[in-house]
Amino acid sequence: MPIIKSHGSGKFKKKELGSIGRNVVFEDDILVFHPENVEIGNNVYIGHRTILKGYHRNKLIIGDDTWIGQSVMLHSAGGIRIGKNVGIAPLVCIFSSQHDINDCSNAIITNKKLFYKEVIIEDGCDIGWRATILPGVKIGKGSIVGAGAVVTKDVEPFSIVAGVPAKKLRKIKE
């Protein structure tokens, strides 16, 4: 069984993941945090230098037939659910927690409360190079997120969004 690197605990075997399907490809230098909370479906590719940041609570779930490019950051403190047949280009970042900027205390930002909101990417989506998806966002079925987009709001199914912040460009025919 292949050995995969894990932050903090040295090396671990694939069987230490919460679950793992058949025909899963891990490229070199992947970091996995809290592997017990990472679930991977069948026929999944994960590119080199990707970080699968499981968390002590909530799950990072990757559906069947999904392709994750190189140097992707998936931070699942609030939970991340990636559907089936999803493409995630290199250098994408998906975050499901952030510091509360509305906290009125005088604490520096890194000492402010965190809030957690699940990110959902439904089946058949394509996330472009260097896109960033923020906590609480749902990307609807069959949607495309353009390269470099920063997604701060939900995306309707079968839509194309792009820009900073991401805005809907048009619908895709179903």
Active-site positions read 99
Q: What is the DSSP track for 72-125?
A: -EEE-TT-EEE-SS-EE-TT-EEESEEE-TT--SS--GGGSPEEE--EEE-TT-
- What is the Cα–Cα distance from 118 to 116, expressed in whole angstroms? 7
- What is the Cα–Cα distance from 64 to 56, expressed in whole angstroms? 24
**SS3 assignment, position 140:** coil
110 burial class (0-12, 13-18, 19+ CB within 10 angstroms)? exposed
The distance from CA 165 to its chain's CA centroid, rounded to whole angstroms, is 18
State which amino acid sits at residue 96. S
